[in-house]
Structure 1
Amino acid sequence: MSGSPSFVSARFPDIPSGLLGGVVAIGNFDGMHRGHQAVLAAAMDRAAEADGPAVALTFEPHPREVFRPDEPVFRLTPPAAKARVAAALGLSGLVTVDFTRDFAARSADAFVSEVLVGALKTKGVTVGWNFHFGKGRAGTPAMLFGEGERLGFAVDVVEAFTDEGGEAVSSSRIRSLLADGLIGEAAGLLGYRWFFEAEVVHGDKRGRTIGYPTANMRLPASVRLAHGIYAVAIELDGERHHGVASFGRRPTFDNGAPVFETFVFDFTGDLYGKTAVVTPVSYLRPEMRFDSVEALIAQMDQDSAEARAILQTAQPLTPLDRALLFG
């Protein structure tokens, strides 16, 4: 599976003509997990039949951040990551709506007539079985069916997607797994290995004094990834590298604010200010406090050897995982 070479990411209402007149999959799609992928695949199938673009219509910020700003959401796929996955899936484009209280107050009828028909000129709509929209969540799949018949667009509703154990796949499940360090289980629900993008920032430069210079990245406070040591793949300037990373508070030194620190194997160069794409491939161990720097270095040597071995034999989990991590 490879990304579409003509993939376009746009902000509503500035929609390129190439994304008009197609099939629109609607949802928040945080995680772009296997359940979301079922909705997106149905849209792509319908678009192929109609010989038109397949477009994901999504919303930023997360609606919960608008209505409950005191409860920050651990975003699995912020906008750039969501676009990256959408392109790898083969969608034509991603259209993002600025989600505000005013937009949320728009009636379901107005959303259909102004956004779907007026702006996107949609020929088809695909949603999940529990999709609701518009003021008071008055818009439902049944309402969409009626509007589709009236206004001339097809509607596909995708049933709930469950994993091999019969449990519903959800973003909240994936967040909990990542918080517990169960990144393999999270990847099983996502259909790819979770990744994040962040800028490399200056740290205390302590790592270079002990033979482990690191690329330091600060993640949003809402990211509840388990603290610990990871074998990682890291993309820098379009090139993929392997490394070993620590995410946590550095209890041996200062027990400060959490930082994701990656030692990139066999790499030299200035990374400050660059945006890195980091994929944790394996969780090696929890964060620990050491009685001496020498004990820490000995453990880091062991962690590095283990990470190299894991990464050298890592295989793609799915075609999507191949496109994102190995492509």
Structure 2
Amino acid sequence: MECWTDLDDVPRDVGPSVVTIGNFDGVHRGHRSVLARMVAAARALGGRAVAVTFDPHPLQVHRPDTAPELLTGVADRLELLAETGLDAVLLLEYTLEFARTTPEDFVRRYLVEALGAARVVVGRDVRFGRDNTGDLATMAELGRRHGFEVDVLEDIHGTAPAERRWSSTWVRELLTAGNVEAAAQILGRPHRVRGVVVHGDARGRELGYPTANLGRTSGMVPADGVYAGWMRRVHHPAGLPDGYLPVAVSIGTNPTFDGVERRVEAHVPSRTDLDLYDEEVVVELVHRLRPTLRFASVEELVDQMAQDVERTRALLADGPLVLRGAAGA
């Protein structure tokens, strides 16, 4: 998948294309359904499937104090978008100046002139252009004026008993509660957190459970607790072992030691030989084992850690989680 961050990057012969617009935070099953449909339409047309998305998220520009925590950083968003079969992404920098673009100018400049859109795929609630004044009726009128079709998708819902519209907001609610299993059903995959491994207090190593401590992370960090999951070493040479490892993950402040800094720490069971410092890793959270607890003694903590590791081994014994029925998967 190509990624263009400027109109000058877009090939002059890019059209005809099938285009959609969105933030695609999390690239959940609802997003994947839209993207699968546009990819199929592009293949039938003999053109390219292109998603237009933004960085930073518009709410981070307009309402930085109340903007939601993003499910995925840019690197993971692009990686997940590539998995849908898209030919390209136009990643536009979202600024206050860009936000003043009128709906007609946005469509004409980006969709028509730059991307040669023959079809634009949108939901009924689409909003675009200055003050979100562009809507579905606006897009349809601009399509008639500029010669592209508008393909309208209905909302995608889960099945009973949770017949709610799949959305990034719903995933955030579940992660806030630590329910990574339910979040995975909406995402179509385990939720992931990305970061570079940094030096910590080395307390885990002293206790017999060395951990990879993630520095500044991207991707929403779920509720404090202990999780079972997988760790992928982003730049690990393909084909070599240890690139994808089972992990027991602790998220929290280490209350037994009166910690105050919230951390994400991953322990690889039965491995004390790994040197992961300064490596970029992606941690996929599959099961929540328990909430974070304050123990009366270090001995009680170590006993519980041993149980957590054994449960992690058992839960991950069948290998990485594969979710069936994810739209577009």
Please indicate, yes or no, whether the TM-score normalized by the shorter chain is above 0.5. yes
Q: How does 1:42-81 map to 2 (within 5 A)?
A: 42-81=37-76
1:253 alignment partner, one of 230, 235, 257: 257
Structure 2 residue 278 is the aligned partner of structure 1 residue 273? yes
TM-superposed CA distance for 1:13, in Å, is: 2.1
Q: How does 1:117-156 map to 2 (within 5 A)?
A: 117-156=112-151
Provide the residue aligned with 2:210 in structure 1.
213
Structure 2 residue 5 is the aligned partner of structure 1 residue 8? no
Asked if 2 retains the 8 angstrom alpha-carbon contact of 1:22 and 1:55, the reply is: yes
Distance in 2, matches of 1:136 and 1:241, equals: 46
The Cα RMSD (Å) is 2.1
Provide the residue aligned with 1:296 in structure 2.
301
Provide the residue aligned with 1:316 in structure 2.
322
Distance in 2, matches of 1:25 and 1:32, equals: 13
Distance in 1, matches of 2:303 and 2:128, equals: 55
Distance in 1, matches of 2:218 and 2:145, equals: 46
Asked if 2 retains the 8 angstrom alpha-carbon contact of 1:19 and 1:93, the reply is: no
Provide the residue aligned with 1:112 in structure 2.
107
Query: With structure 2 as the length reference, what TM-score do the two structures score?
Result: 0.91
Partner SS, residue 7 of structure 2: coil
Provide the residue aligned with 1:26 in structure 2.
21
Distance in 2, matches of 1:69 and 1:270, equals: 37
2:200 alignment partner, one of 203, 206, 227: 203
Provide the residue aligned with 1:4 in structure 2.
none
TM-superposed CA distance for 1:128, in Å, is: 1.4
TM-superposed CA distance for 1:221, in Å, is: 9.6
Provide the residue aligned with 1:3 in structure 2.
none
Structure 2 residue 225 is the aligned partner of structure 1 residue 231? no
1:263 alignment partner, one of 250, 264, 267: 267
Q: How does 1:175-194 map to 2 (within 5 A)?
A: 175-194=172-191
Provide the residue aligned with 2:292 in structure 1.
287
Provide the residue aligned with 1:169 in structure 2.
166
CA offsets 1:245-273 (integer angstroms, 9 cap, x no match):
10000001132211000001344232111
Equivalent AA in structure 2 for residue 15 of structure 1: D
Distance in 1, matches of 2:167 and 2:34, equals: 13
Equivalent AA in structure 2 for residue 32 of structure 1: V
CA offsets 1:193-233 (integer angstroms, 9 cap, x no match):
11121111111111111111100013559935110000010
Aligned length: 317
TM-superposed CA distance for 1:285, in Å, is: 0.1
Partner SS, residue 309 of structure 2: helix
Are residues 84 and 19 of structure 1, via their aligned partners in 2, closer, same or farther at CA, if it must alter by over 3 Å?
farther
TM-superposed CA distance for 1:241, in Å, is: 0.6
Partner SS, residue 229 of structure 2: strand
Query: With structure 1 as the length reference, what TM-score do the two structures score?
Result: 0.91
Distance in 2, matches of 1:312 and 1:272, equals: 27
TM-superposed CA distance for 1:281, in Å, is: 0.8
